[in-house]
Amino acid sequence: MTITAVIDSVTQLIGDIASGFRAFVSSDDFKKFLQKIAAWFESAVLWFVNVIIGLTVAIVRFSKSDRFRDGVRRARDLVARGYQQGLRGIERIARGPLGIASSEAVETAVATTADLFELVLPKSNQRTSALVAVFIVSIILILSWPDAEQKEAVPGPEEMVSGLKQPVPVVKRIVSEMPDFEEIPAGRERKAAFFGYFLPIIENQNRAILATREKLDDWYQNPDTISARDAAKISEIAARYGIDDFDIESDANWNKLFKRVDVVPPSLALAQSANESAWGTSRFAREGNNFYGQWCFRKGCGLVPKKRDANKTHEVAAFDSPQESVRVYIRNLNSNSAYKGLRDIRADLRKANKSVTGQALAAGLKRYSERGMEYVKELREMIAGNKLAVYDTF
């Protein structure tokens, strides 16, 4: 076979293949093949979209559940508790400005992170968009995260406790204004908003009390280091807690003071505020920032109850802020003779190295309401029903 014949054969073969391909492309079989490819691709895309939507809905539902909120709170409380214990050990070794600054920064960061978890939980009408926004922002932050040398520490605020040099970490609120609880649907959503707003306020007050208590313990354990100025500060603290003429040489005076300078379990403070203020919707809560039904007895000191008996002169106290209402409430439980039973229960728990819980201390509030033990029972039911005991970590 000559070269010309080979070339002709190859040329003929290529022509036949090209003709066959053109015929296949223009045939109905090829169109059906393309349709199958398009249908498969469409199914794959729809399947992927459905999977993403399903996962998104599941994540959003879980993030709105009580279990998720409890988990966030438990994690934050465990970190805070571990940090507090570590901090105390460090402070005993070296008490200095660096240790104080570190405690403030880390404590504030932990509390702020917990509040951020609550803030990013999407509302029912914003679920998909909120989740997408959080995902996009997270990716951007990861890609643009600065090197360690570029990071700057942001100092947290300080609160001086009655003139002491002990800084108390303040829980930052990303949303600082109190919600309008009447505008929030009653039930789970209003409860979440109520507890989410008041828990950091209560915890902040308890931290301030613990800082004062630790300083008092340091003075008590080291009486030889107490200067005249320190003695004056101790007497000032004792007077604020209803103990006059404090004698620093008297163990009885010190025991009485330690019974009073102590925390109120968050579960109890939350249950009472919800009970006394009708979940923040009562007239006294809205007009006077009074969330615990505190009375005052000077004309013009607060709001006059509409159903007050003619022979009564008391008013419901008005406060400048919800924080002030919480502070006065805790001070009332810690100093008023009517709640000596509560303080005794708390001291006994401390002595037995047991947890100070709202369920236990509620028994000391029989005189807080005219309903007596019925009131105590109602508070305990509120603590149990709303799973508030998880917050009693002090």
Lowest mean pLDDT among 124-138, 270-284, 289-303: 124-138
Q: Please, which residues bridge with residue 302 across strands?
A: 317
Task: Read off the pLDDT band of 258 (50, 70, 90).
Answer: very high
95 φ, ψ (degrees, to nearest 5): -95, 105
Give whichever of 21-25, 51-55, 95-99, 232-236 has the largest mean pLDDT. Answer: 232-236
pTM for this predicted structure: 0.56
Distance from C-alpha of 342 to C-alpha of 363, rounded to nearest angstrom: 7
Classify burial at 249, counting beta carbons within 10 Å of its beta carbon; exposed 0-12, middle 13-18, buried 19 or more: exposed
Domain extents in the chain: 180-394
Distance from C-alpha of 176 to C-alpha of 321, rounded to nearest angstrom: 12
Who contacts 182 (Cβ-Cβ below 8 Å, separation ≥6)?
A: 280, 281, 286
The DSSP annotation for 339-376 comes to GHHHHHHHHHHHHTT----HHHHGGGGTTTSTTTHHHH
pLDDT attached to residue 164: 34
Average pLDDT over residues 25-51: 77
Who contacts 113 (Cβ-Cβ below 8 Å, separation ≥6)?
A: 76
Question: Encoding tokens for residue 167?
Answer: 């800084």
pLDDT attached to residue 11: 82
Distance from C-alpha of 118 to C-alpha of 63, rounded to nearest angstrom: 9
pLDDT attached to residue 5: 75
Q: What is the pLDDT of residues 174-211, one digit of tens each?
A: 345 789 999 999 999 999 999 999 999 999 999 999 99
3-class secondary structure, 279:
coil
The answer on pLDDT for 159 being more than 90 is: no
The answer on pLDDT for 368 being more than 80 is: yes
pLDDT attached to residue 8: 74
Q: Report yes or no: 360 and 383 within 8 Å, Cβ to Cβ.
A: no
Q: What is the pLDDT of residues 61-113, one digit of tens each?
A: 666 665 666 666 666 656 655 665 565 556 555 444 444 444 444 444 444 44
As a 3-state breakdown, the chain gives helix, strand, coil percent values, each rounded to 5, of 70, 5, 30
Task: Read off the pLDDT band of 115 (50, 70, 90).
Answer: very low
Name the average pLDDT for the chain. 78
Average pLDDT over residues 148-162: 31
Average pLDDT over residues 355-374: 96
pLDDT attached to residue 88: 56
Lowest mean pLDDT among 30-44, 177-191, 324-338: 30-44
Lowest mean pLDDT among 179-183, 299-303, 315-319: 299-303
Who contacts 167 (Cβ-Cβ below 8 Å, separation ≥6)?
A: 100, 103, 104, 158, 159, 160, 211
Q: Report yes or no: 196 and 118 within 8 Å, Cβ to Cβ.
A: yes
Q: Report yes or no: 286 and 277 within 8 Å, Cβ to Cβ.
A: no
Closest CA to 210 of 258, 148, 149, 251: 258
CATH 1.10.530.10 corresponds to the domain 180-394: yes
pLDDT attached to residue 288: 92
Average pLDDT over residues 240-253: 94
3-class secondary structure, 158:
strand
